[in-house]
Amino acid sequence: MWNILHRKLSELVETKSVLRDHIPIIRRFTGGGTVVVDNGTIFVTLICNKDAVPNVQPFPRPIMSWSGLLYGKVFEGLADFHLRENDYAFGDRKFGGNAQSITKNRWIHHTSFLWDYQVKNMSYLKLPSKAPKYRLTRDHTDFICRMKEHMPRSEFIERTIKAVGDEFSVSPVSLDSIDIDSVSEYVHTTRLLTEQEIREASILQT
């Protein structure tokens, strides 16, 4: 499963191998880049009323910096954590990619954490045209790293909950108990791309 920035599918994925191997592609409503999602991926999404985080202006850079401080606490003493441009890295190797959506009164900051990955799955991704500077010309396997090589999964989750708990009061909820009330007219959509759409993008790729 994949998450993907809209449009220009042909620039982001190897459409022929994706079609051949029947890889589902999801277009996400937030911004951000393309990631390979497998059953180890950890997603952390922070949905905040802008007034609940009063020292953070509701724009990408301030939100990103604030999140960098939060995760700095999570990894303190455990790993060489850095916020590099819009990525989370250990040293200069990316392990977390970010995406945001900002509305008038609240914002979402979403991270896809690379717990583990198979090298062959990375071949579905093209080298993005807008790569961060710190990537230099490294290909995927030299650019990213596996979180599982740095800490146990439960420790990452516990430390994240604790770091969030230092800023907010935290309580667990089940997905079933969440009730979606009214939906405003302008609706963001996250959706699965159709095979037809991927085929059309494939024609654009030589």
Partner 1 sequence: MACRQLWASRAASYLRISVFHRTFSTVLNNLKYADSHEWVKVDGNSATIGITDHAQDHLGDVVYVELPEVGAAVTQGDGFGAVESVKATSDINSPVSGKVVEINEELSNSPALVNSSPYENGWIIKVELSDNSELNKLMDSEQYSKFCEEEDSKH
Residues that bind partner 1 (CB under 8 A): 5-7, 29-33, 54-57, 59-64, 86, 98-104, 130, 184-186, 188
Nearer to partner 1, 162 or 191 (CB): 191
Whichever of 100 and 160 has its CB closer to partner 1, that residue is 100
Q: Which amino acid is at 201?
A: A
Which CB sits closer to partner 1, 69 or 157? Answer: 69
Q: Which is nearer to partner 1, 54 or 172 (CB)?
A: 54
Residues pairing with 97 in the sheet? 87, 112
Question: Comparing C-alpha atoms, which of 193, 195, 206 is closest to residue 7?
Answer: 193
In the complex, the smallest distance separating the C-beta of residue 114 from partner 1, rounded to whole angstroms, is 16
Are residues 106 and 49 in contact, defined by beta-carbon separation less than 8 angstroms?
yes
On whether the CB atoms of residues 199 and 20 are closer than 8 A, the answer is no
Tell me how far, at minimum, the Cβ of 103 lies from partner 1, in Å. Answer: 5
The CB-of-197 to partner 1 minimum distance in angstroms stands at 17
* 195 phi/psi in degrees, rounded to 5: -60, -35
Cβ distance to partner 1 smaller for residue 5 or 159: 5
- Give the nearest distance from C-beta 54 to partner 1 in angstroms: 8
What DSSP character marks residue 127? P
Q: Give the shortest CB-33-to-partner 1 separation in angstroms.
A: 8
- CB neighbourhood size of 5 (10 A): 18
Q: Rounded CA gap, 89 and 83, in Å? A: 6
